[in-house]
């Protein structure tokens, strides 16, 4: 009995210690770092507080009722209640109605403010694929437009409009720390606007079941200061650097003569495939395969050697390469910064 | 006992359906060169020797392999020359006429090694199991694969009825390179 009690106490302590930890982090609606996410977090707290207060009051009333239960078991039900009963029931019914309506109005107003954004100075196209994100920064000047994948960079304090599209099935954009949720629907253009506030790294996750690797469809969002963002943009616009070192050059040659070239594009080379992620600056990214692996030369080699072992069902096939070729390709991709 | 029999039968039928699109994601790419006969003529008696690959049926009766072939047919821009199977600067693929043979082994060889007058070689560019998937899909354009496994719908515009509703046309030798792809004489 004592052991059970101490185990319960330990469990409770553990829950209390861990629960607040769940509120912070790079992927948490309660750790808001954007205007819209802030409005949603505020709504969550209001709902939680009101519901908690109502629950406590109901439990209190129930406890009172149990303590002041009828003394005579045989008396007919309600016999000793006065006329006050009707008034109490009416008051609490009315109060319930008022609370529900107030919460509905609050929810509606927040939703409305999220759905009617002003004109956004920055528009980015986000295209969902099974199971990765294609990201296009379009500029009226074509030489300032580029495509990247799985890593969205945004300047802090600037409202951004994401144009959401899909090529295969319905996906859903959800970066809880920055904004609400919006679906990416094939044959349809959705958009979501939000304003990230504090620089930092945030994480999104496809929020609509989209097939086998739905769980491995992560999106990293780096919110940067304006100067950092502009530097990143300028680096991304540039084509890939020429492979100079002999082993890197060998990796380049292997890439161009093997299966890689059919699906992937590297701007500045002959590789122009459009069905897989653009690899022009893959070495500058933090993660690989939609945040399934951290990016390094080792994980690049692992991913190329056995993509179906990392993400079973992914559309990347295993491409047979000799060990030395595999290492050279990994070196080459790592060098694409 | 008699009451269980229909249930067991239904279960067996349902399990039989699993076979239709069994998936093997981590299959080692095959490297077997199919032995194909490009000519029906042979010196001496009999027809030329050709060994059929044991994998052919696996690809032609499996819904997953066929739909992957359909996806890759679009991704690798086969349509650029073969126009959704109707032909363009490349020959039509849904008319039953085959310049280089209509068996899946022939089609695999055509994709892997290329053919004169424009068909490029994809050797080393497309992994072998994907070449087999594409070849099986190409066969479905003339109705020569299992009807219950052939793709039943298109994600975008319908250039032709879904593959499982295309008429079955027995492969015959024939056809020519479209004039637009022929080398200047």
- Looking at the partner chain, which of B25, B71, B155 has a beta carbon nearest the beta carbon of A312? B25
Q: What is the mean pLDDT of chain A?
A: 90
> How close A317 gets to chain B, by Cα (Å)?
7
pLDDT bucket at B35, cuts 50 / 70 / 90: low
Domain assignment present for residue B9? The answer is: no
Q: What is the CATH number of the domain that holds B73?
A: 1.10.760.10
Residues A50 and A131 occupy one common structural domain: yes
CA distance B51 to B35: 5
Residues A63 and A205 both lie in one domain? yes
Ranges of H-type helices in chain B: 4-18, 56-60, 63-75, 79-82, 104-113, 128-140
HEC assignment per residue over A207-257: CCCCCCCHHHCEEEEEEECHHHHHHHHHHHHCCCCCCCCHHHHHHHHHHHH
Residue A308: which of B26, B76, B130 has the nearest Cβ? B26
Percent of chain B scored above 90 by pLDDT? 26
Question: Tens of pLDDT along B45-56?
Answer: 776 666 677 778
List residues of B whose CB lies inside 8 A of any A CB. Answer: 23, 25-26, 28-29, 31, 71, 75-76, 124-127, 129-130, 155
| Minimal CA separation from B168 to chain A, in Å | 29
Kindly state whether residues A138 and A52 are assigned to the same domain. Answer: yes
- Residue recorded with tokens 């993400």: A311
B69/A311 Cα distance (integer angstroms) = 20
> Quick check: A150 and A139 in contact, CB under 8 A?
no
What pLDDT score does A149 carry?
95
Has residue A11 been placed in a domain? no
Interface test with B, best of A317, A318, A319, A321 (most B CBs within 10 A): A317
In this structure, are A227 and A325 located in the same domain? no
Between CA B18 and CA B26, with CA B23 as vertex, the angle to 5 degrees is: 150
For residue A179, the enclosing domain spans 26-71+117-238
In angstroms, how far apart are the furthest CA atoms of chain B? 77
pLDDT tens-place string over residues A115-124: 888 888 999 9
Report chain B residues whose CB lies below 8 A from the CB of A308. Answer: 25-26
Q: Considering only CB atoms, which residues of chain A are within 8 Å of chain B?
A: 168, 186, 257-259, 261-263, 275, 306, 308-309, 312-313, 315, 317-320
Residue B68 lies in a domain: yes
Q: Would you call A259 and B155 a contact, using CB atoms and an 8 Å cutoff?
A: no
Residue carrying the six token digits 């006969």:
B37
Task: Find out whether B142 and B87 touch, Cβ atoms under 8 Å.
Answer: no
In a domain, A194, yes or no: yes
Final residue in a domain of this structure, among A197, A216, A238: A238
Residues 6+ apart with CB under 8 A from A217: A131, A132, A133, A171, A205, A206, A210, A290
Residue in chain A nearest B28 by alpha carbon: A318
B1–chain A nearest CA distance, Å = 40
Q: Closest Cα to residue A110, out of A9, A27, A211, A39?
A: A39
Q: Report if residue A174 sits inside a domain.
A: yes
A257 Cα distance to chain centroid = 36
Minimal Cβ distance to B130: which of A275, A312, A317: A317
**Phi, psi of A193, deg, nearest 5:** -115, 140
B21 lies in a domain?
no
**Does residue B176 fall inside a structural domain?**
yes
| Chain B residues inside the 8 Å CB shell of A262 | 75-76, 125-126
- For residue A190, list its beta bridge partners: A164
Secondary structure in 3-state letters for A52-79? HHHHHHHHHHHHHHHHCCCCCCCCCCCC
Answer whether residue B135 is part of any domain.
yes
Task: Tell whether B80 is covered by a domain.
Answer: yes
Q: Is the dihedral of CA A312, B75, B103, A257 positive or negative?
A: negative
Same domain, residue pair A226 and A291 = no
- On the question of pLDDT at B31 being above 70, the answer is no
Q: Do B124 and A318 touch (CB under 8 A)?
A: no
Q: Is the pLDDT of residue B14 over 90?
A: no
Structural domain of B132: 52-185
Measure B155 CA to nearest chain A CA, in Å: 8
Residues B151-169 have a mean pLDDT of 86
Tell me whether residues A257 and B155 touch, CB distance under 8 A. Answer: no
- Kindly report the pTM of this predicted structure: 0.84
A226 shares its domain with A254: no
Give the pLDDT of residue A244.
84
DSSP letter for B24, please.
-
Minimal CA separation from B10 to chain A, in Å: 28
Interface test with A, best of B73, B74, B127, B133 (most A CBs within 10 A): B127
pLDDT digits (tens, 9 = 90+) for A85-127: 788 889 989 999 999 999 999 999 999 998 888 888 999 999 9
A275: distance to nearest CA of chain B, Å? 7
Asked whether residue A140 is assigned to any structural domain, the reply reads yes
What six digits make up the tokens of A4?
């059970």
Tell whether A176 and A214 lie within a shared domain: yes
Minimal C-alpha gap between A259 and chain B (Å): 4
What sign for the dihedral angle of Cα B46, B49, B54, B60?
Answer: negative
CB contacts, 8 Å: B127 with chain A? 259, 317-320
Q: How confident is the model at residue B37 (pLDDT cuts 50, 70, 90)?
A: low
Total number of domains in chain A: 2
Please list the rounded mean pLDDT of every run of 10 residues in chain A (337 residues): 62 59 81 93 95 95 82 61 77 94 96 87 95 95 94 95 94 95 94 94 95 95 96 95 88 93 93 93 94 95 93 90 94 94
Of A275, A308, A312, the CB nearest to B75: A275
State the pLDDT at residue A88. Answer: 84
- Domain CATH number, residue A257: 2.60.40.420
Q: Kindly state the DSSP code that residue A206 receives in the 8-state scheme.
A: -
Q: Are A277 and A336 in contact (CB under 8 A)?
A: no
- CB B36 within 8 Å of CB B105: yes
Q: Are B167 and B150 in contact (CB under 8 A)?
A: no
Closest chain A residue to B69, measured at CA: A315
> Is it the case that residue B27 has pLDDT exceeding 80?
no
pLDDT band, residue B21 (cuts 50/70/90): confident
Q: How far is the CA of A74 from the CAs of A62, A68, A86, A277, in angstroms?
A: 21, 16, 23, 77
Tally of domains within chain B? 1
Q: Are residues A199 and A130 in the same domain?
A: yes
Claim to verify: residue A255 and residue A135 sit in the same structural domain: no
CA dihedral for B105, B108, B112, B116, sign (positive or negative): positive
Report residue A172: phi and psi, to 5°.
Answer: -140, 130
Q: Is residue A122 part of a domain?
A: yes
Residues of B in contact with A317 (CB under 8 A): 29, 127, 129-130
**Is A210 within 8 Å of A185 (Cβ atoms)?**
no
Instruction: Say if the Cβ atoms of B25 and A313 lie within 8 Å.
Output: yes
The DSSP call for residue A266 is: -
> Which residue bears the tokens 């792809």?
B181
Q: What is the helix (H) or strand (E) element at residue A194, kind and residue range?
A: strand A190-194
ipTM of the complex: 0.80
pLDDT band of B117, cuts 50, 70, 90: confident
């Amino acid at each position: 009995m004592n052991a059970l009690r101490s185990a319960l106490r330990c469990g409770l302590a553990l829950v209390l210690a861990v629960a607040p930890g769940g509120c912070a982090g790079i992927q948490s609606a309660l750790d808001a770092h954007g205007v819209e996410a802030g409005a949603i977090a505020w709504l969550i707290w209001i709902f939680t507080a009101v519901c908690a207060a109502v629950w406590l009051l109901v439990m209190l009333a129930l406890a009172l009722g149990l303590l002041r239960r009828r003394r005579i078991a045989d008396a007919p039900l309600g016999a000793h209640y006065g006329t006050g009963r009707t008034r109490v029931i009416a008051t609490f019914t009315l109060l319930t109605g008022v609370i529900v309506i107030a919460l509905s109005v609050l929810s509606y107003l927040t939703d409305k403010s999220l759905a009617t954004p002003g004109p956004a100075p920055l528009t980015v196209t986000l295209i969902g694929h099974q199971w990765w994100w294609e990201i296009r920064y379009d500029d009226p000047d074509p030489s300032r437009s580029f495509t990247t994948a799985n890593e969205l960079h945004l300047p802090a304090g600037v409202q951004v409009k994401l144009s959401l599209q899909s090529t295969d099935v319905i996906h859903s954009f959800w970066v809880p720390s920055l904004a609400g949720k919006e679906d990416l629907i094939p044959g349809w253009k959705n958009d979501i606007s939000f304003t990230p506030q504090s620089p930092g790294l945030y994480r999104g996750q496809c929020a609509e079941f989209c097939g086998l690797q739905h769980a491995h469809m992560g999106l990293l969002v780096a919110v940067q200061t304006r100067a950092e963002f502009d530097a990143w943009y300028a680096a991304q616009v540039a084509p890939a650097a020429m492979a100079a070192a002999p082993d890197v050059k060998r990796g380049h040659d292997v890439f161009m003569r093997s299966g890689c070239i059919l699906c992937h594009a590297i701007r500045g080379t002959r590789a122009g495939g459009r069905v897989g992620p653009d690899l022009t600056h893959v070495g500058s990214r933090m993660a690989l395969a939609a945040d399934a692996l951290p990016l390094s030369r080792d994980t690049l080699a692992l991913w190329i050697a056995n993509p179906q072992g990392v993400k079973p069902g992914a559309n990347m096939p295993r491409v047979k390469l000799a060990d030395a070729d595999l290492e050279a390709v990994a070196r080459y991709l790592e060098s694409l910064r | 006992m008699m009451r269980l029999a229909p249930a067991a039968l239904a279960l067996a039928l349902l399990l039989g359906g699993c076979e239709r699109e069994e998936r093997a994601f981590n299959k080692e790419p095959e490297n077997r060169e199919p032995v194909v006969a490009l000519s029906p003529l042979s010196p001496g008696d009999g027809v030329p020797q050709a060994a059929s690959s044991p994998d052919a049926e696996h690809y032609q009766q499996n819904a997953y392999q066929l739909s992957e072939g359909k996806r890759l047919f679009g991704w690798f821009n086969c349509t650029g020359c073969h126009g959704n199977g109707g032909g363009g600067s490349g020959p039509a693929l849904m008319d039953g006429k085959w310049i280089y043979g209509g068996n899946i082994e022939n089609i695999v060889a055509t994709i892997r090694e290329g053919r004169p007058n424009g068909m490029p070689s994809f050797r080393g560019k497309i992994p072998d199991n994907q070449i087999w998937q594409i070849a099986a899909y190409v066969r479905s354009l003339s109705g020569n694969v299992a009807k219950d496994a052939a793709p039943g719908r298109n994600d975008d515009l319908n250039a032709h009825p879904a593959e499982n509703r295309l008429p079955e046309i027995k492969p015959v030798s024939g056809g020519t390179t479209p004039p637009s792809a022929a080398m200047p004489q």
